Structure 1
Amino acid sequence: MPTHTYFGRSASLPVGRSTRAPVQKSGGAGVAPRIDAEGFFEGYASLFGVADLGRDVVMPGAFRATLAQRTAGGVKQLWQHDPRHPVGEWLDIAEDHRGLRVLGRLDLELPKARELHRLITRGSVDGLSIGFKAESERRDPSTGLRQLEKLDLWEISIVSFPLLPQARIASRGDGRGIKGGGMPATVASRRRMAQF
């Protein structure tokens, strides 16, 4: 099956196609997201079974193989899918019943990351977007939706204009966070490790 690439794709931008580079899908909008003073944040980069504005649906288990091969540190954290703008690192990436759960940290020594921290804190930016190569997909003949069954995840970006509105940095005051009440317990241990 052919694989297409959509760079920086949103509802208002033209589509660029390629067969060798990863696909990028975005998601996010709404209230001010949760990020702490040290740059730690969490959210969902993709949701299973939800059609994005490009009519793609990520299926449960689509990331299983790539996450078995590549650790969270092997998936790049970028700003707007731009490889010239790495802004931090992913500390934890995992599939759960809902989608692709992420825990990340902005590198606040980088000027772009400090700027992004301010934008996230103000609620100006909260979208998350995945960059991937589709390894297995099929078209649902009844809906026309492309079902993404196996993905090679290359990067997850923080973005301005999301394609999947529900995939975003967890919002402040929602009382849920990823683990049901804010930042996961792993944040404290990651902070301690980062000090060494």
Structure 2
Amino acid sequence: MTQQREKRGGIRAEVRADETGVKVSGYAAVFNQETNIGDYFREVILPGAFRNALGSTDVPFLINHSGLPLARTRSGTLKLTEDSHGLRIETELDGGDPDVQRIVPKMRRGDLDKMSFSFRAVKQRWDDTQTPPLRTVEEVELYDVSIVTEPAYEGTDIGLRSLEASRTEARRQHNAAAFARRKAEAENRFRKIS
């Protein structure tokens, strides 16, 4: 089962504009911070979750996770780093770009001021003994980082799909491991008989 793309965010970005351009910096994700995903589950992103994604994939900087990129890692106009706090972004947007000119007033007023990231969990753990369950994200595939008007933490629909997809995959893995264990036990019994 293919897992849906998820979006998370809500961390304030720092925006500075001068004659050379518009500088945007901040954290698209923060580590070890428990977040409630629409009362369906809680989520924590662990340090190192972005390690494999950084440098291996071209990541664009978007507005609300869509449209033309304002910057991107491949061109060197977007810098993404993982530090002890989270996934840090830094970019200097081209002040002459009409898309940038359109959003600068909204960024200065605080209408566009939150950071977000779009991802797919590659490695995760679930603790269903708690209510709501706790999802620990250990590794992600990173699709984009965005400056957003509304953070996606309130995205209950995607949260529910993610919970069900992950539980289905966990059941599949459990059943496959149980089958392999029973098969090995049967083979060992057969070897002892012959």
| TM-score for the superposition, normalised by structure 2 | 0.64
Question: C-alpha distance in 2, partners of 1:138/1:119?
Answer: 38
Question: C-alpha distance in 2, partners of 1:157/1:98?
Answer: 18
Which residue, out of 107, 131, 147, partners 2:118? Answer: 131
CA contact (8 A) 2:80 2:87 kept: yes
**What is the one-letter code of the residue matched to 1:149?**
E
Question: C-alpha distance in 2, partners of 1:110/1:68?
Answer: 26
Which residue, out of 63, 74, 92, partners 1:79? Answer: 63
Is 1:152 aligned to residue 141 of structure 2?
yes
Question: C-alpha distance in 1, partners of 2:35/2:97?
Answer: 31
- Structure 2: segments with no counterpart, 5+ residues: 155-194
1:177-192 to structure 2, matched below 5 A, reads none
| TM-score for the superposition, normalised by structure 1 | 0.64
1:46-125 to structure 2, matched below 5 A, reads 46-54=29-37, 55-70=42-57, 74-82=58-66, 84-89=67-72, 90-125=77-112
1:16-31 to structure 2, matched below 5 A, reads 22-28=5-11
The CA deviation at 1:68 is 4.2
Q: Runs of at least 4 residues of structure 1 off by over 4 A? A: none
Is 1:40 aligned to residue 29 of structure 2?
no
- After superposition, the Cα gap between the structure-2 partners of 1:87 and 1:122, relative to the gap in structure 1 and judged at 3 Å, is same
- Structure 1: segments with no counterpart, 5+ residues: 6-21, 166-196
The CA deviation at 1:3 is 5.9
Q: 86-95 or 55-64, which moves further after superposition? A: 86-95
Q: In structure 2, the residue corresponding to 1:114 is in which secondary structure? A: helix
Question: C-alpha distance in 2, partners of 1:3/1:59?
Answer: 22
CA RMSD of aligned residues (A): 2.3
Question: C-alpha distance in 2, partners of 1:127/1:47?
Answer: 13
Identity, % of aligned positions? 31
Aligned residues: 142
Question: C-alpha distance in 2, partners of 1:35/1:45?
Answer: 17
- After superposition, the Cα gap between the structure-2 partners of 1:163 and 1:49, relative to the gap in structure 1 and judged at 3 Å, is farther
Query: Which structure would you say has the larger Rg?
Result: 2
- Structure (1 or 2) with the greater helix fraction: 2
Q: In structure 1, the residue corresponding to 2:106 is in which secondary structure? A: helix
**What is the one-letter code of the residue matched to 1:150?**
E
